Structure 1
Amino acid sequence: MNRMKLLLAGLLALVLFPAAALAQALPDLGGKTVVVVTENAYFPLQFVDPASGKPVGWEYDAMEELSKRLNFKVEYQNTSWDAMIQAVSDKQYDMGMTGITIKDDRKEKVDFSDPYMRSEIFMLVRDDESRFAEPKAFAADEKLLVGAQAGTSPFYVAVYNVLDGNEQNPRVKLFETFAASVAALQAGDVDLVLTDSAGGKALVATSGGKLKLVGDPLQAEDFGYIFAKGSDLVAPINAGIAALKADGTFDKITQKWFVDYKPAK
């Protein structure tokens, strides 16, 4: 076989077997146990399935795929959002996952993986809402309230992109979880909740016509896993993220949880 035929054969192999070639290049973590902390309160990234009582969601499926490709075992732990970044920084856990936006101030405490998902922040309202459809109109009506989880990106967008920049503004009603803020919206206790685009679309699709997204995106953000500073897990996880993006696995998981999933009633 001449050099040209060898070159063509090699190129053909890469075209026909890209996933296999990529998988062979991934790091092998040797079956080590990785302790991953989450909150189970950010539908549909991670939440407790009402039918089975088990934690499920996009991030669980993604982590399962990462563990298979990189050869590690996952041990899940739970903590609240407000304690998570510090706990990972203190090495109480190896990784954190709960739709954590990659931000420079957070990088002072933890290392981030490469982004595994890009999302945009939208306004989520009840389906019969007609008083506002953009931030300026919401801010102008002092009777309107926004629900948020303290310390999250939607909280800061509500404070700085929608209202007056005062983090103590009484129009921002705080809830322990994102799910609680959505429940308050549906009950009429608040008038607006900010949500990422993927989660918002899933909430609208499963609300039975009771919720809708309005207006243009207020902010774009990238989600990443977090690690203690200097963790040797960052590079392998980044390699796994790249592989799962390249072979369409992340797209399939997104289809499952953001489009096809219908929670039990």
Structure 2
Amino acid sequence: MKVNAEARQRLSALLRSHEDEVLKRWSEIAARSLRGRLTEAELTRQVREVYAALLGMLGEGGDGELTGSHGGESRAALGELSKEWARQGFTPTETANLVFTVKEVVLGLSEAADADSVPADFLVLSLLVDEMGLYTFEAYAKAREAIIADQTEQLLELSTPVVKLWDGVVAVPLVGTLDSARAQVVMEKLLQTLVDTGSGYAIVDITGVPAVDTQVAQHILKTVVAARLMGAECIISGIRPQIAQTVVALGIEFGDIATKATLADALVHALRASGVELKRGKAS
């Protein structure tokens, strides 16, 4: 929405002439819904940034249009506010309301003025602030989506550890459902660990996988094949009776891949295959 130069000048003059009053009242109203989650100094700083963004659109260098060529700095300020509030856990409504609050403040100033142009100017300001608030809401949504994506990636990393059990033997204990995204993370972490440790044996433990279907089996097989291409032999452990029956019923073929009932059995198999001599100790 483009604002004519005269309206911009009047609105800019009104805000600048009452700057201290506007900022103080704006901060007070905004603080009501935040219930002390921001310090007074921090809230005042952020109100000042929105105030500066508004003045930037109304000043001589602006054109009163947020999406226009002169609205870059204002968009950047609102975008940073949205990202910051998204990271701090504020809701999109609280974030947008920080912008909308200025209308209540300016309305009080307008009621005290006698100029005939005040009602029209306030309508222009209201439309402009609405545009800023909607932009803030959209920027918040994008920031929140990015945060959720980062958190999902971090959870995938944490849920797929690769541990070294012995010299030359590593294990991937899988817990929960194995989908395409997680299978890719498992494969990447396993291959990197094989390179870092120089291990020749990898155990893929599926004890914590609730069910194995064709898709899960395909993910496991791809991981095994990738490890083999790196020169490591894979052993699948955690084949419980229920999973064994499902695998047979689905006709899933593991080929020449070694499978064991428990992680301990798989470790013994890997150690023997690597030439480690195992002796059973006598009970005392």
Same structural fold, with TM-score higher than 0.5 when normalized by the shorter chain: no
- Structure with the higher fraction of residues in helix conformation: 2
Which structure has the bigger radius of gyration? Answer: 2
Larger relative contact order, structure 1 or 2 (CA cutoff 8 Å, min sep 6): 1
